[in-house]
Structure 1
Amino acid sequence: MKDSRKKPTQGDMVFENAVLFLRDALISRLFTDAVKSGDSGVVVLVLKAWALGFRGNGRTKYAHEMLHIIHHLTNILTPEIRAIILNNWLLNPTGNPNSWVEVDLVQEHLNFWIKSFYRAHGSNASWDWLKAVSPCVDALRQLARNFHAMLGADQGTRHAPADLSKDIDSLMTFMSEHKVYEVQKGRTLDEDETPAKDVIAVGFHNLTTGSKNPLAEYNEAFERLQRRCRMKPVTARDGMNVEANVGQSKEGETLTGQRPSDEDHPKTTNNDTTDPGQILESEDNPFVPESLTFEIVEDESETISELERILEDVEGGKGEVEVMFPVLNEDDVSLDMDTIGEEIESDDESLYASDEE
C-alpha cells in the first residue's frame, strides 16, 4: 500500500501543470487579441474568468474589481449607459486594424507627453501655454515624426526587439526531450515542488462555498448601499444647522466664511438656551464639538465605506496594498508595446530639448 502511494500508476503531474499553464496563458492571449481587435464582448467574457482566477490566486482586490464591473454591466447600468461604456473603453488612436488600446493607456500616453513638453519648454511655461499646447500633443508628435522621416534624422536610441528564435528552439527541444506535453502515467513532481492549482476552480469554490462567503458579503454590502442611497439627505434646510463660535471665529460665521441669514438658517430650539461657544450633542444636533470639521455621529460599522469594509473582510484585516506599475519612461505608455518587426518609432522628446543649457 505504501509503495503504491509513493509511486502512483495513474495521473501525470507534469502534464497537468503544463495544461493548466497553457489554459491560463491562452486566456491572457485571448484578452490581448480582444483588446487589439476592439471586441468588448470577449473582454467581458475574459473578465468573468479572471474574477474566479484572481480569487483562486489570492488577489482578492482584483477579484472584487472584476465582480464590481461584471455586476454593474449585467444588472445595474441601463442599456444606454452600458453601450456607452462598452463602446468607449477601447480606443483606436491610429485607425489601423488591430490597433485598439485601453482608454486609460491613451490617457497615460497623453499625460506623459504633456509633461515632456512642459519640462522641455523650461521656466517660460505657463498654465495658459499648457492649456493651448495640450490638445495639440498628438498632432505635434506626428509632425515631428514626419520631419524626422523626411530629413533622415536620427530615429531615436531604442533598440530593435531581441531575437528569441534560438531561445524558443532550445525550450521546445527541452520540453520534447522530457515529454512535458505527453502523458506519462505515474509521473510526479520532485519533493520540493508543489502541483499547480486550478485557480478558476479554486476561485469558484471560495466565492460560493460557506454561509459567509465573499460573494454573499458583496451582495449584502450592495443591498446595504442601496438602502442608504434611498435615505433622504440631511441638509441645513431640514433644521440641521449649527450656530456657534469656534475658537476666535466671528459669531454666526459658517465654515465657508460667509455669514448666514436668519431666514435661510433658523435657529434650533436646542441651541436657544445654550452658550454661544458650546454645541449640544443630541438627536436633533448630532455634531461633534471642538473641531471645525463637523461630523454626524454614526454607528462605528457605518463610518467605513462599503468598498473599504468589503476589502478589509476579504483581506482578513491585513490591509495589504496592491503595487501598481509606475509610469517612468516612454515605453511604459507606448501604444504598440507588443509590436515586433515594425519600424522603430522616433524618440520625439529630443526635438523639444530645452535651450537653457
Structure 2
Amino acid sequence: MHAFTVLEWKGLHTVQTWGPFHQQLHEAIYHVTEAHIHDCWRVISWTENLIDLRQKKLEDLYKLATEIVNQLSSSSTVEWMDLQPEDEHDEILWQAILWNRDALHYVHLNEGIRNGDVRIMEQTLPYLLFHFAGGKNLKYTIEILELLQCLHWEWPPDVKDFVKHRGWLMNLTGCPNGFFPIDRGQEHNIRDIKVTHQVQGPNVSWDLMKCISPAIPTLVQVWSSHTDPAKKKDIEKLKGVYHTSEIHVQKDGWCARVKADHVEDIVSLGAAHLFSWKTMQQWWEH
C-alpha cells in the first residue's frame, strides 16, 4: 500500500473484479518487486551503485543472488525473525522479506506461464494451496486440493500429460514467450470482439463481423507494441525510498506506525492451519 501511495497509483487499494484493475496490479507488483530486488543487491553486495556489480565474476554474482534469496526472500528467514525477542524484532524488514518471498513466487509463476512451462505451474500448486488456505479462500483451496489429488493419485499419465499440455495454456502467436492461461485468452477474445475492435456504424452485420474478426489478432499486436516509459521512473523513485528508509537492513524494535500497516504471513498460516480447519473435511466430503 505504501508503494502505491508513493507512486500515486489510484484504484489499487481496493480489490476490483472489473476494469483494468488486474493489469494495473500486475504491473505494480513487478515495479515494486524490481525496486525491492535492486535494493537487496545493494545491501548484500555492500555497494551504492549496482553498476559496480559488472566487475564481479559470474560465480560471485551467483553467490550474492543466493544470499538474497536465503537472507532476504525466504520463509526460513521469516520464521527465524518470528523467534527473536520482541525488542529485537524488526517488523519493517520482516514485511520486506515477506514481500520479496511472495512477489518472487508470483513473478516465477507468471514467467513460467508466459514461457509455457507447465512444470513450474505444477510445482507452484502447493504454495498456492497454502496461500489460499491462509487467506481463507475456501473455494480456491478446494480446487487446488482436487487438482493435486488428480495429478498425484487419480489421473493416469496420459490424462495428466493432456491436461497440463493442452488444458492449461494457449499461444496465439507461436512465440516462445507468448503463452497465457486459456481462460484469460477467452476473456481477451471477448473484449477484443465486443469492445476494443467492435463492429460499429450503419453497416453493422454478422457478415461484417465475420470479415473483421480474422484481422483482430494483428490489430491487437499493433496496438500493444509499446513500452511503458513510466516504469523506469517508478522503479527509481521506489529505490530511493527503500534506500533512504533502509528497509532491508536490520533495525531492532522497528515497528509499523499504524495498525493498517501490519500484515500477516498468510502462506505460513495456511501451511500451519490447513489440517486444523474443516477445509480438508469439506474437500473430502465434496
Give me the TM-score of the superposition, normalised by structure 2. Answer: 0.60
Inter-partner Cα distance in structure 1 for 2:100 and 2:156: 37
Q: How many residues are treated as equivalent by the alignment?
A: 200
Q: Percent identity?
A: 21
Secondary structure, aligned partner of 1:9? helix
RMSD in angstroms over aligned alpha carbons? 3.2
Match of 1:106 among 171, 185, 193: 185
1:165 aligns with 2:247: no
Inter-partner Cα distance in structure 2 for 1:36 and 1:158: 17
1:182 aligns with 2:262: no
Contact 1:118 / 1:125 at 8 angstroms: preserved in 2? no
Structure 2 counterpart of 1:43: 121
What's the CA shift for 1:46?
1.6
What's the CA shift for 1:220?
2.7
What's the CA shift for 1:98?
1.4
- The structure whose RCO (Cα within 8 Å, separation 6+) is larger is 2
Structure 1 counterpart of 2:45: none
Secondary structure, aligned partner of 1:204? helix
Contact 2:138 / 2:279 at 8 angstroms: preserved in 1? no
Inter-partner Cα distance in structure 2 for 1:157 and 1:142: 11
Structure 2 counterpart of 1:217: 282
- Structure holding more helix per residue: 2
Structure 2 counterpart of 1:94: 173
1:125 aligns with 2:208: no
Q: How does 1:255-274 map to 2 (within 5 A)?
A: none
Secondary structure, aligned partner of 1:91? strand
Rate the CA distance shift 1:215–1:156 in 2: closer, same or farther, 3 A. Answer: closer
Q: How does 1:328-339 map to 2 (within 5 A)?
A: none
Q: Mind listing any 5+ residue stretches in structure 1 that lack a counterpart?
A: 1-6, 147-154, 222-357
Question: Which of structures 1 and 2 has the bigger CA Rg?
Answer: 1
Give me the TM-score of the superposition, normalised by structure 1. Answer: 0.49
Contact 1:20 / 1:196 at 8 angstroms: preserved in 2? no
Structure 2 counterpart of 1:205: 272
Inter-partner Cα distance in structure 2 for 1:157 and 1:216: 46
Rate the CA distance shift 1:143–1:104 in 2: closer, same or farther, 3 A. Answer: closer
Rate the CA distance shift 1:143–1:158 in 2: closer, same or farther, 3 A. Answer: closer
